[in-house]
């Protein structure tokens, strides 16, 4: 089954690091997509009309930037 949680990050991004740390703390199974090292991930993100990182996409719903409460709310819907 394909992972339902996608995290788009870029190099040297403090908010990206905070988002990944939160997902790890919450024991979320996610697919990490670094747009700095893989331009295909950048194109995927742009097709969804998102142009900045971090971006969390869960079943088509997006959280842009590190918004801890919104991230937790979205992840609670997965349970």
Tally of structural domains, the chain? 1
Q: What is the DSSP string of 18-51?
A: HHHHHHHHTT---EEEETTT-HHHHHHHHHTT--
Per-residue pLDDT reduced to its tens digit, 50-78 = 999 999 999 889 999 999 999 999 988 77
At 44, which CATH number? 3.40.30.10
Q: At what angle do helices 14-25 and 68-76 cross, to 10 degrees?
A: 40
What pLDDT is attached to residue 61? 92
| b/e sequence 60-73, b meaning 16+ C-beta within 10 Å | eeebbebeeeebee
Q: pLDDT higher for 60 or 45?
A: 45
**Domain span at residue 17?**
5-76
pLDDT tens digits, one per residue of 22-31: 999 999 999 9
pLDDT the model gives residue 60: 87
pLDDT of residue 1: 41
Give first-to-last CA distance, the chain, whole Å. Answer: 16
């Amino acid at each position: 089954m394909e992972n339902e949680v996608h995290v788009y990050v870029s190099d040297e991004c403090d908010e990206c690091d905070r988002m990944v740390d939160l997902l790890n703390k919450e024991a979320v199974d996610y697919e990490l997509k670094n747009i700095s090292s893989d331009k295909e991930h950048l194109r995927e993100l742009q097709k969804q009309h998102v142009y900045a990182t971090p971006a969390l996409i869960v079943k088509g719903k997006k959280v842009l930037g590190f918004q801890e409460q919104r991230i937790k709310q979205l992840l609670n819907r997965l349970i």
